[in-house]
Structure 1
């Protein structure tokens, strides 16, 4: 039977949740700024590069310090935050409450 390191998994999940929130808040900020400029490609590219580098860099540290179970928790947390973020974005788009 596989022994699951729940402490490492929950640590990874907590860090992944925080990083997921930062990632999607950064996405929202980048899109809002890009929509206000005449050349949005530069802002979107910089935003994506910074967000991806931060997410992957922190993920690398989580896996190297906490092991594979921490990495799994980190990835699952990101997917959960992504599900929540996309659900909220869709509900705002349907109701027209987006600013």
Structure 2
């Protein structure tokens, strides 16, 4: 079985960009919701836009082949774990 490394890399690049925008949108939506008088519509609209955009980009990437889709998914997971590690509050033991 041959792997198309170019398509895997392009899918990973698309996945990294899409996930960075996804989580930036999540952060922005949360900030807006925390300041809003009625946060539910803000959270709902943010979620619909982010999920729809991610699915649209994923659909386009999937049309390029399995290697692209694998790179996209792998990059999304890597960026997700990186952002969670960065955003997680430190415990008092880790800060010292």
Give the TM-score normalised by structure 1. 0.88
Of the candidates 68, 87, 92, which is equivalent to residue 70 of structure 1?
68
- Structure 2 runs not aligned, ≥5 long: 92-96
Aligned pairs, number: 91
Q: Residue 22 of structure 1 aligns to a residue in which SS? A: helix
Q: Point out where structure 1 has 5 or more consecutive residues left out of the alignment.
A: none
TM-score, normalised to structure 2's length?
A: 0.91
Structure 1 ranges of 4+ moved more than 6 A: none
Following the alignment from structure 1 to structure 2, what is the Cα–Cα distance between the partners of residues 8 and 74?
10
d(CA) in 2 for partners of 1:4, 1:49: 34
Q: In the alignment, what sits opposite 1:51?
A: 50
CA RMSD, 1 decimal = 1.0
Spell out, residue by residue over 1:39-80, the C-alpha distance to the aligned partner (whole angstroms, 9 max, x if none).
Answer: 11110110011000000101100111x201100100000001
